Amino acid sequence: MNQPAVPRILVFDSGVGGLSVTARVHEAMPYASIVYLADNAAFPYGDQPDAVVIERCCTLIAGALEQYPCDAVVIACNTASTIALPHLRRVMDVPVVGVVPALKPAAAKTRNHRIGLLATPATVRRTYIDQLIEEFAVGCQVERVGHPGLVQWAEGLVRGVAVPQAELDQAVEGLRGAAVDTVVLGCTHYPLLLDSLKRSLPGVRFWVDSGEAIARRVEWLLAQAGKSASPDEQGGEPRVPVVDALFSGPAPKGVTGFMAAQGLQPRVVTENWPGTS
């Protein structure tokens, strides 16, 4: 029997935050193979000059595609998406899907027209956030909180370090004060902190991130390219969803177990990739 080729997707982030998006991609397309690439040697991207982010994204993603040809690339990082997306699209010959804070769906959900935007300091100060609010959240009060701790706490979870709840409570104090009923998770690391965030802000009704929308977009793009395959068609799901988890720095201790717990068991974890960065 002729087996259709299994589509392969490259998911990129500066760290482990993109795993929150990878989980949604895997849920939507369990038949697809995933390569995960984290530029953790340069984490966090929010502290890097734009030119460095552009150069690193373009070089690392091109290198990964050479090793693992893919049908689509997901930039599962708000910072990298804002800075590098146009450059990547110019040089890649596969579709590149980026992520933006989900202000539009949040505006559709909020009942009291008060939305919290939780993102990295680098993301909250970008002018494209003003544009998103003007375009999609007119009439809503949007309270922005950009805190450097949250990405670090999410990374710590991989190593088994508990989230410092009291510090998190303090970090999101501005959202409590603004009585928001909806919070946009404007950084792909934050869905990993959702349980702790819910404890900090029990009054919030809607938590919105971009993972599902990205997964739907990738699924659509692959279908357009004739690259979708149902598990039945290709004779069952791949044994492991993530064929390789590439880290530009040392692999975070505990990452294999962390990924497995999210249904993202990696076949191989490669660190200090590609060996010259």
- Max CA pair span of the chain: 61
Among 57, 70, 77, 140, which one carries the catalytic annotation? Answer: 77
CB of residue 188 to ligand DGL, shortest distance in Å: 4
| CA–CA separation, 189 and 187 (whole Å) | 5
* Binds ligand DGL by CB under 6 A, chosen from 40, 188, 200, 248: 188
Each residue 113-152 as x (binds ligand DGL by CB under 6 A) or -, in order, gives -------x-xx---------------------------x-
* Binds ligand DGL by CB under 6 A, chosen from 6, 12, 14, 256: 14
Please count the residues of this chain forming the interface with ligand DGL, following the rule CB under 6 A: 17
By CB under 6 A, the residues from 43 to 102 that bind ligand DGL are 43-46, 77-79
| Complex with ligand DGL: residue 81 or 256, whichever CB lies closer | 81
Contact segment (CB under 6 A) with ligand DGL among 13-21, 133-141, 203-211, 240-248 equals: 13-21
* Amino acid, res. 135: E
58 noted as active-site residue: no
Q: Which residues, 6 or more positions from 209, have their beta carbon under 8 angstroms from its beta carbon? A: 20, 102, 184, 185, 188, 190, 191
| CA–CA separation, 115 and 29 (whole Å) | 31
Token pair 């949250």 in the structure block, residue: 150
Each residue 148-187 as x (binds ligand DGL by CB under 6 A) or -, in order, gives ---x-----------------------------------x
| CA–CA separation, 230 and 7 (whole Å) | 10
| CA–CA separation, 124 and 147 (whole Å) | 9
| Nearest Cα to Cα of residue 264 among 242, 246, 236 | 242
| Complex with ligand DGL: residue 57 or 229, whichever CB lies closer | 57
Considering Cα of 54, then 269, then 191, then 71, what sign does the dihedral take? positive
| Complex with ligand DGL: residue 81 or 110, whichever CB lies closer | 81
CB of residue 147 to ligand DGL, shortest distance in Å: 12
CB of residue 1 to ligand DGL, shortest distance in Å: 41
Burial class (CB in 10 A: 0-12, 13-18, 19+), 28: middle
187 noted as active-site residue: yes
Contact 154, 17 (CB under 8 A): yes
| Complex with ligand DGL: residue 137 or 192, whichever CB lies closer | 192
Does position 210 bind ligand DGL by CB under 6 A?
no
* Binds ligand DGL by CB under 6 A, chosen from 13, 143, 209, 219: 13
Q: Which residues, 6 or more positions from 123, have their beta carbon under 8 angstroms from its beta carbon? A: 46, 78, 79, 82, 101, 129, 146, 186, 187
Among 57, 70, 140, 187, which one carries the catalytic annotation? Answer: 187
Counted residue by residue, the chain has a size of 277
Residue numbers at the binding site for ligand DGL (CB under 6 A): 13-14, 17, 43-46, 77-79, 120, 122-123, 151, 187-189
- What are the residue numbers of the active site? 77, 187
